[in-house]
Amino acid sequence: MHRDPIHHRSVFTLIGTNDTLLESVVQFGARVVSRLDLTHHVGVHPRFGVLDVVPFVPLANATLDDACVLRDKAAHRFAEELALPCFLYGPLDEGRHRTLPEVRRNAFETLSPDLGPSTPHPRAGASAVGARLVLLAWNLWLSKVSLNQAQEIARQIRSEDLRALGLQIDNDVQVSCNLLDPSHTTPADVHDRVLALLPEGGKILRAELVGLAPQSCLDEVDPARWSELNLKIATTIEAAARSIGFEIS
> Across the strands, what pairs with 177?
138, 164
List the single range of 6-15, 108-117, 173-182 with lowest mean pLDDT.
6-15
Can you give the pLDDT at residue 248?
A: 80
Percent of the chain with pLDDT over 70: 95
Residue 56 reports pLDDT greater than 70: yes
φ/ψ of residue 215, rounded to 5: -60, -35
Can you give the pLDDT at residue 1?
A: 62
List the single range of 53-57, 168-172, 181-185, 209-213 with lowest mean pLDDT.
168-172
pLDDT tens profile 13-30: 999 999 999 999 999 999
pLDDT tens profile 144-165: 999 999 999 999 999 999 999 9
Percent of the chain with pLDDT over 90: 84
What are the residue ranges spanned by the domains of the chain?
A: 2-131, 136-236
Task: State which fold the 2-131 domain adopts.
Answer: Formiminotransferase-cyclodeaminase; Chain B, domain 1 (3.30.990)
Residue 40 reports pLDDT greater than 80: yes
Confidence of residue 171 (pLDDT cuts 50, 70, 90): confident
The H or E element containing residue 152 is: helix 147-157
Summarize the confidence of residues 169-191 as an average pLDDT: 93
Q: What's the CA gap between 21 and 42, in Å, rounded? A: 30
CATH number of 136-236: 3.30.70.670
Residue 4 reports pLDDT greater than 70: no
User: Minimal CA–CA distance to 24: which of 84, 63, 70?
Assistant: 70
Q: What's the CA gap between 243 and 240, in Å, rounded? A: 5
Can you give the pLDDT at residue 2?
A: 60
pLDDT tens profile 74-87: 999 999 999 999 99
Residue 197 reports pLDDT greater than 80: yes
Q: What's the CA gap between 228 and 208, in Å, rounded? A: 10
The H or E element containing residue 86 is: strand 86-91
pLDDT tens profile 111-131: 999 999 999 999 999 999 999
Can you give the pLDDT at residue 5?
A: 60
**How far, CA to CA in Å, does 10 sit from each of 51, 145, 179?**
10, 26, 18
CA triple 117-122-128, angle to 5 deg: 55
SS3 167: strand
Q: Does 2-131 match 136-236 in CATH topology?
A: no
Can you give the pLDDT at residue 3?
A: 60
Summarize the confidence of residues 100-104 as an average pLDDT: 94
Tell me the one-letter amino acid at 175. Answer: V
Can you give the pLDDT at residue 47?
A: 82
pTM for this predicted structure: 0.85
Residues 6 or more apart in contact with residue 120 via CB below 8 angstroms: 48, 49, 85, 108, 126
Residue 170 reports pLDDT greater than 90: no
Residue 241 reports pLDDT greater than 70: yes
